[in-house]
Amino acid sequence: MCRVLGYIGEPLAISKLILEPDNSLVNQSYDSDYHHMVQLAGFGLATWKKDTLTANYPFIYKGTKPPFYDRNLQSLCESHETNLLLSHIRAAYYTYEAVVHEHNCHPFIFPGFRLALAHNGWIYGFQEIRFPLLNKCRPEIIQNLEGSTDTEVIYALIMSQVDDPTKDLSVDEIIDAINKTVKIILDVQTEYNCEGISVIKLFLADSNDLLVANLGIGYNRQLNVPGDWQKLTNEELQELKSDSEKDALYLLKSPVWSLKGKNFGDYDGFKMESAADEDVRSVIISSEPLTEDFTGWSQVPFQHICFFDNNNGNPKVETKPFPFN
């Protein structure tokens, strides 16, 4: 699957998130159990920095070159700080249907909008239901589409659920829009009899908030998916890879990781200094922990949402079951 990273907090060199940690986002791109199945199909980041000319809108960098070969990316990461970051490495299967182009690189954000989206997963039956899903979007929003990915359609659906997609949306408005979008996907899949797993791990950010929704739809289009796939041994995980159905279930129910504290940096290995909730200054969310030492990392479980807002430099963190009802 793809790899995603989000950060909110005190100013930090982008390289300390993207390049330098033991299991940095770039390292994850070439040290994957699924490398034999997927190709690197693009990299992208959106970064916000206070006290800039466009503090409410991100600087966007995208490219189809593998990130470990991208000198421009290295230079950007080493010379720029961020208060809020959303970054993504795209994976695509080795097939003639895969389109490797900057238009398909995450994060997605339409002109004039403030909310950006990156996605780790897939919508089952997307090629069959793409146009029915687009018909659920507002015309003035889908005219911004440029690529061919399911993620861009999800983004258009989410933004079609809010009255004014150009405004600074509240966390509640974002959650409500995601909830309506998942229900639309489920209804369209039911109409077209699409029975398969949809992994919907959504990472969203604007200049104030960072949010991850670890969601999905199981076989037979159910939201309550049985099975505890987080307690498997390494041997059991390897066995999963020979069973495509069980492997997809594991990917569906796998967690997203978060780390909170302050002063994330390289001192005797990359670490985040622990802090009481009232003293938290930075939060990282990632598809995998960025450090070899998992101490301090927490899981965002399946069918849960975790969100962080700036709270005047003291990020507030909350995890809770996703609404759906």
Output the six-digit token pair for 159.
């933004």
Please say whether the beta carbons of 168 and 56 come within 8 A.
Answer: yes
Could you tell me how many residues make up the chain? 325
Residue in 2, 105, 194, 306 annotated catalytic: 2
3-state secondary structure of 320: strand
Is 2 a known active-site residue?
yes
**CB neighbour list of residue 276: distance below 8 Å, 6 or more residues apart:** none
Longest dimension (CA), the chain: 55
Q: Which residue has the tokens 């199981």?
A: 218
User: For residues 35 and 141, what is the distance between their CA atoms, to the nearest angstrom?
Assistant: 35
> In whole angstroms, what separates CA 281 from the centre of its chain?
21
* Omega within 30 of 0 (cis) for the link into 139: no
Residue ranges with strand state E in 22-161: 38-48, 59-63, 81-93, 116-122
Catalytic residues: 2
